[in-house]
Amino acid sequence: MTAPSPQSGSAPPDALTGGTGPLAGVVIADFSRVLAGPYATMLLADMGATVIKVESPAGDDTRTWIPPHRDGVSTYYLSVNRNKHSVVLDLADPQDLETAYAIIDRADVFVENFKPGGLRRFGLDAESVAARWPDLIHASITGFGTAGGANLPGYDLLAQAVSGFMSTTGDPDRDPQRAGVAIFDVVTGLHTAVGILGALMERRDSGHGQHLALDLFSSALSGLVNQTAGYAAAGNVPRRMGNDHPSLFPYGPFPAADKDLIVCVGNDSQFRRLVTTLGVPELAEDPRFTTMAGRNEHRDELRPLLVQALSAGTAEHWHQCLQDVGVPCAPILGIDEGVRYAESLGLEPIVQVGTGEDTVPLIKHPVTYSRTPATYTRRPPALGADQQSVLAWIQTTPPIAAGSAAAASPRSTRSTQETP
């Protein structure tokens, strides 16, 4: 496939152009919904990619996930769908299916999270896609893969349950707990974005696309990092330890005079500074506590000594004192307080997404680029808001011809004026 020349078609409507970031010119056909796929494509859209969000007539499920909402729009949907163009297609309708093909004809990346086998009847399964669009990057997200887990529903909570995550989360004498967010949907979205970027880089040299298979279960096992590595490499099966760390102590919440404070000691030097600041420097000389291994072994003896020392002051007092001597610590904040704290540190966590008066406040892209900043020009679209613009773009932008001599060049070399 080759990028169209400037002479091969008229420029698409301005409303369908992407951003100016590092992925400007890359076109993504996004058939995913809910969280993992949309989060991945939003990150890429923030980086300048043009993302066409293809939805069923019912729309992305998260559009109806209320409360909370802003002006009647689900904030769950808002959280992962900025900088996209929405088009409604019923793949069971032959004309709409042809439109879907036309979008993919003009795309660099195709992302979907249909149930395994669900796209075969539309000719959009991995084998058919690879045959029809050999330089297309096709990312498929499932819950549990396409073999024995193909029929299992892809819910994040299920991945939390079977991966061992819940077995390690919560107090040892209470029930296992889930995370406060769909953590492995988020991790899978990150893995999807990274995989797409890697495939785009490889295609610059080979001219070939490839199929990227991702699933929540594999991302969960990968995302458990040291916990799953401990089992794989040493046969260790971790257990629930509440807020304690299996390898570090003190590392977690400790009660001060008024409320808890997080204290994180990662080495012996930090421990000496901690106990000196707390007024119990002799603990650093106690042979039970001089090493991390010793503190882990004798944590039940060390904990009450630290709690007693911390009871002499408030959490705010100790937070300031410990920060001053370089001991990692933090208050336990609500999300509202956390956002304000980030602002106090100069991190600017909230950005206005959209243009003019049509903006919505959302959380900023996590990477700050020195030359090619993230894009925040398009608020999350209403269902089908860009239908006519997408159809006009199809009419004015020729499909990319498979098997041409220029296939070794990435599709993304098209200029911003030549891509939607």
Give me the active site residues, please. Answer: 185
Bridge partners (DSSP) of residue 354 are 359
Q: What single letter denotes the amino acid at residue 337?
A: E
| Token pair recorded at residue 272 | 């000496």
Say how many C-beta atoms besides its own lie within 10 A of residue 40's C-beta.
Answer: 31
Decide if 215 contacts 144 (C-beta within 8 A).
yes
> What CA–CA distance (Å, rounded) separates 392 from 420?
10
How many residues would you count in the chain? Answer: 420
Rounded CA gap, 368 and 362, in Å? 16
Q: Are 27 and 49 in contact (CB under 8 A)?
A: yes
Sign of CA dihedral 363, 369, 371, 374: negative
303-324 as b/e, with b when 16 or more CB fall inside 10 Å?
A: bebbeebbeebebeebbeebee
Structure tokens at 78: 């808002």
Is the CB of residue 406 less than 8 Å from the CB of residue 135?
Answer: no
Q: CB–CB of 381/373 below 8 Å?
A: no
